[in-house]
Structure 1
Amino acid sequence: MGHRPALALLDILRGEGVDRIFGNPGTTELPFLAALSEAEDAPEYVLGVHEGAVVSMADGYARGTGRPAFVSLHIAAGLANGLIGLLNARRSRTPLVVTAGQQDRRHLQQDPMLSGDLLGLARPAAKATYDIQHARDLPLALRRAFAQARRPPAGPVFLSLPMDLLTEDTEVDVPARTAPPRPGPAAGLDRAAVLLGGAARPAIVAGDGVGREDAVAALVRTAEACGARVHHQPMADCLNFPATHPLHAGMLPPRHDAIRAALSAYDAVLIVGAHAFTPHHYSPGPALPTGITVVQLDSDADEIGRNFPADAGLVGALAPSLHRLAELLREQVPDHTAKARVLRAGERHTAERARAESAARAAYSAAPLAPWAAAHAVAHGLPPDAVVVEEAITVGLLLRRLLRLDRPGSYTHTVGGGLGWGIGAAVGRSLADPGRPVVSVLGDGCALFGLQGLWSAARQQVPVLFVVMGNGSYRTLQDTYKAMGGSGSCPGTELGALDFTLAARFFGVDAVRAESADHLRELVAGVDELTRPMLVDVPLRTS
């Protein structure tokens, strides 16, 4: 049975489970909006007043629901505004299907206003791009886009839609949806178990694939089976191992020399779902120490041996692979040996936690708060089922050391590095799972990039607590400048004192200033009582 092009688009969206459309429309999207207004069961349109916030909301929503989110942008300018979000989504492997309206094809050769090279803009930030020139091609391309967006490595897929194409007086066939195959465990697990089981000092690096593929419980079983300490990958985007588990060893720093030093204590390492360690600052030499046995497991075949050699490279779905590996390891490692390793690791874990707690408590004083104290107040105020959406850069590093999160999906970050993601992502995350309280911890510089997301927070009435850590500067740049031997002040990095309560109220969001660490902890603890968004302005000490 045929459908008009715009109705065919909506039919496919419904079949792919799309219940919300994140967008900011213009004239080229009017045919799509007309179809939405006429359909009785159309997805909800979630408006953002800037495309950066639009894509960030979709990013948070896709992560919370576990399925691709759909984004509608407006022509070249709207796509350009949304590129920072697409770059973040590609780095964080968030599945998005993104469309932008193109000018009417009947005068496109005349270089009309707002037209542009949409595919040229989108290619660096998308897994794949489609230039739809015939209505008959739209349904097949859209089906293909959803499949590509979710297939490892997941990411954004872009389609250019000329505005007149959706209004064509023609009917197109809608192909039935093919359910994605259920990937199974990797081949070669027997040999991997022998390599890891024979190690005297095994370790695991938990990459973000673990959290994305809901494999945290399976990784816990694997770690316990051999007593391996577990490090999060550098700047991890999600919770890949419970923070309170005795085998949890914290996050690896994003430099090869520091990773090499941290892993030098082990003779074998299992690297699971990690994208090549994603270094930030350059340091000479490889990430892995010489002589260490490496077992690498990933659902993306291109990751195997990509940046370092592996003694065993395994490709398969992470959860079933890890569950099977745990069973095999129990045959290789005596139970008393594994338990003794867990006990020793637990003592070290407890000592490291105590040092972080001591450093934070020593920083407590009257306002303005020290960064350690602010991070401690947030970490200790969080309700057990809270979700943390973090874009705080310097304070975020401290917060990672203090969080006690155990539940999968309870931490969200973007390794993409494009600022302004946090506010919109928190809105989308709350819409995806309204039963869980969301606390968005933001740096003041990050918040300035994404302030328009507060409009959508107020419009959607999401019960999100936005906590803005204000040090009045791009502090991470200043710290790096000094570490590189820079003298004097670092130009272009001072923001000055900012009152984010005024900004929040302008957008219709309730706001309060934290007067002390205890006050901040109480505000965070009350997030599960919110019925609408609230912003907490937290002035920090600058020295």
Structure 2
Amino acid sequence: MGTRPALALLEILQGEGVDRIFGNPGTTELPFLAALSAAKDPPEYILGVHEGAVVAMADGYARATARPAFVSLHIAAGLANGLIGLLNARRSRTPLVVTAGQQDRRHLQQDPMLSADLIALAAPAVKAAYDIQHARDLPLALRRAFALATRPPAGPVFLSIPMDLLTENTEVDVPPRTPTPPQGPAPGLERAAHLLAGAARPVIVAGDGVGREGALDALVRVAETCGAPVHHQPMADCLDFPTTHPLYAGMLPPRHEAIRETLAPHDAVLIAGAHAFTPHHYSPGPALPPHLTVVQLDSDPDEIGRNFPAETGHVGALKPSLTHLAELLRDRVPAHTAKTRVLRAGDRHTADRDRADAAARAAYSKAPLAPWAAAHAVARALPPDSVVVEEAITVGLLLRRLVRLTRPGSYTHTVGGGLGWGIGAAVGRALAEPHRPVVAVLGDGSALFGLQGLWSAARLKTPVLFVVLGNGAYRTLQDTYAAMGGQGSCPGTELGQLDFTRAAGFFGVDAVRAESADHLRELVAGAAKLTGPLLIDVPLGP
């Protein structure tokens, strides 16, 4: 026996484990809201006052729960506002199922207000887009969307649903959910083990697939078994290797020439779960030195050999694949060889960290703070088990060098690069993990793009600490302009000093201005005791 379209939609959402709906509604969503109002134990509706914040909250929530988050947007305008978040989600491989109400089909040909080609609008920012024109197709397409959102490479999937379709006096069949077995280990890893074991100077690049798939511990075992130092991929979205580990060698810089220079001393590299190398600024030549033997492992078959040739490529789930690879290496690499490499790397990396720590401590002062001092104060004061949500474009690079994190999921960024993600993502993260301290580290330029997320933080009372680092400029543009040989000041990059305590107060968020590096450190240390959101305005100097 069938059910009405709107009720079928809700039934599928509940069957897929959706417990929260992230949205900003309009008239085309009223049939959906009516079904929510009448349902027994419906998912909670999480309201955002701008679609950019809505999608960012869903992004943060999906990453923490490791399942697709559901987003409801309003027609063409709402979808357009949410596109920046969808582009970020696609680049960061975040599974989302996104719907937008379309205008009533009975007058759609008359080009009514707010109508548009939603499929054409969404298509560049999502994995797939479905234009639902018949009620009978909605349940099947929705099931398909949830499955596709999580299939490697994960990402957002979009459905356009006409307003009148959900009010049809018809019954549709709801297909049962099809359990999908998890992806197994990659075949042929003996070849990978042979190449890595035969290397005199192996190195590992930990891609964000490692963090997304919960494979961090397995990668640690691989690294320790062959004694290979580990770099995070450029601008990593996740914590893919413990930053306290002796083998951790820091993040690769996002430029081909710098990656080549960093990897040149090595003769073999294992690249695990990395989407290309995500270069930011162009530099000539390939990312990898020509002499380097490349072993590539990924759960997405399209990544193998995509941007660089590999001696051997393997497709499979990262956690079981790396676990098996560690077992194979244990029989091929002498324990004393691995131990010697670990000790040597540990001495070198400890010295590097000590130098960075000393430089940052020496910069401590009263406000305005040096960027090194601000990054250090945040990194050293993080409460145990914290989650760092980072959207600080320039200071974030310093923060990555200073944080001491070990737990998977404790560092989150978006490699998509669309500004305004951080505030909403931190709210979504706190909703998913209410017992972990969430510290959002934001540049002032990034914060300006996502301020509306503070409204949701205040209304939901999410205990997020928002640290806004104010350098009064689009500093990364100024730095790049200078590096490119630009003369004089770079036009259009000055923001001036902004008072974010006043912005926070408007939305109902408590706020304080950091008076010194020690004061900032004290405020960050209190993040675990928050019962609601708090914003720290941190003035930065040169």
1:293 match: 293
CA distance in structure 2 between the partners assigned to 1:140 and 1:82 by the alignment: 25
CA distance in structure 2 between the partners assigned to 1:252 and 1:84 by the alignment: 26
Amino acid at match of 1:154: A
Amino acid at match of 2:376: H
Deviations 1:239-262 (A, max 9, x none): 000000000000000000000000
2:181 match: 181
Matched, 1:408 2:414: no
1:355 match: 355
Secondary structure of 2:175's aligned partner: coil
1:106 match: 106
1:152 match: 152
Q: Please, which runs of 5 or more residues in structure 2 have no aligned partner?
A: none
Amino acid at match of 1:93: R
RMSD: 0.5
Amino acid at match of 1:246: P
- Tell me how far 1:2 sits from its aligned partner: 1.1
1:164 match: 164
1:388 match: 388
Deviations 1:126-166 (A, max 9, x none): 00000000000000000000000000000000000000000
CA distance in structure 1 between the partners assigned to 2:360 and 2:179 by the alignment: 49
CA distance in structure 2 between the partners assigned to 1:430 and 1:367 by the alignment: 29
- Tell me how far 1:40 sits from its aligned partner: 1.3
- Tell me how far 1:383 sits from its aligned partner: 1.0
Secondary structure of 2:459's aligned partner: helix
2:126 match: 126
Matched, 1:326 2:316: no
CA distance in structure 2 between the partners assigned to 1:164 and 1:499 by the alignment: 46
Amino acid at match of 2:527: V
- Tell me how far 1:297 sits from its aligned partner: 0.1
- Tell me how far 1:358 sits from its aligned partner: 1.5
Matching of residues 10-49 of structure 1 within 5 Å:
10-49=10-49
CA distance in structure 2 between the partners assigned to 1:358 and 1:380 by the alignment: 13
After TM superposition, the structure 1 stretch with the greater mean CA deviation from structure 2, 363-372 or 122-131, is 363-372
Deviations 1:56-89 (A, max 9, x none): 0000000000000000000000000000000000
After TM superposition, the structure 1 stretch with the greater mean CA deviation from structure 2, 176-185 or 421-430, is 176-185
1:7 match: 7
CA distance in structure 2 between the partners assigned to 1:51 and 1:180 by the alignment: 32
2:222 match: 222
CA distance in structure 1 between the partners assigned to 2:537 and 2:196 by the alignment: 48
- Tell me how far 1:269 sits from its aligned partner: 0.2
CA distance in structure 1 between the partners assigned to 2:535 and 2:405 by the alignment: 22
Secondary structure of 2:485's aligned partner: coil
1:342 match: 342
CA distance in structure 1 between the partners assigned to 2:366 and 2:139 by the alignment: 61
Matched, 1:520 2:520: yes
CA distance in structure 2 between the partners assigned to 1:411 and 1:320 by the alignment: 23
CA distance in structure 2 between the partners assigned to 1:359 and 1:447 by the alignment: 27
2:476 match: 476
Amino acid at match of 1:456: S
Matching of residues 424-463 of structure 1 within 5 Å:
424-463=424-463
CA distance in structure 2 between the partners assigned to 1:97 and 1:367 by the alignment: 44
CA distance in structure 2 between the partners assigned to 1:259 and 1:179 by the alignment: 41
CA distance in structure 1 between the partners assigned to 2:201 and 2:444 by the alignment: 42
Secondary structure of 1:439's aligned partner: strand
Secondary structure of 2:400's aligned partner: helix
Amino acid at match of 1:251: M
Question: Which consecutive aligned stretches of 4+ in structure 1 deviate over 4 angstroms post-superposition?
Answer: none
- Tell me how far 1:435 sits from its aligned partner: 1.1
Amino acid at match of 1:38: A
CA distance in structure 1 between the partners assigned to 2:64 and 2:190 by the alignment: 34
1:140 match: 140
Amino acid at match of 2:432: A
Secondary structure of 1:172's aligned partner: coil
2:69 match: 69
- Tell me how far 1:291 sits from its aligned partner: 1.1
Amino acid at match of 2:132: I
Secondary structure of 1:164's aligned partner: helix
Deviations 1:157-205 (A, max 9, x none): 0000000000000110000001122111001100100000000000000
- Tell me how far 1:365 sits from its aligned partner: 1.7
CA distance in structure 2 between the partners assigned to 1:355 and 1:151 by the alignment: 43
CA distance in structure 1 between the partners assigned to 2:384 and 2:309 by the alignment: 40
CA distance in structure 2 between the partners assigned to 1:114 and 1:491 by the alignment: 35
- Tell me how far 1:384 sits from its aligned partner: 1.8
Structure-2-length-normalised TM-score: 1.00
2:366 match: 366
2:252 match: 252
1:207 match: 207
- Tell me how far 1:366 sits from its aligned partner: 1.9
CA distance in structure 2 between the partners assigned to 1:138 and 1:208 by the alignment: 33
Secondary structure of 1:512's aligned partner: strand
1:198 match: 198
1:309 match: 309
2:232 match: 232
2:510 match: 510
2:397 match: 397
Amino acid at match of 1:175: P
- Tell me how far 1:94 sits from its aligned partner: 0.2
CA distance in structure 1 between the partners assigned to 2:205 and 2:180 by the alignment: 28
CA distance in structure 1 between the partners assigned to 2:531 and 2:367 by the alignment: 28
Matching of residues 482-493 of structure 1 within 5 Å:
482-493=482-493
Amino acid at match of 2:381: G
2:91 match: 91
Amino acid at match of 1:228: A
Q: Please, which runs of 5 or more residues in structure 1 have no aligned partner?
A: none
- Tell me how far 1:331 sits from its aligned partner: 0.6
- Tell me how far 1:206 sits from its aligned partner: 0.1
CA distance in structure 2 between the partners assigned to 1:537 and 1:193 by the alignment: 50
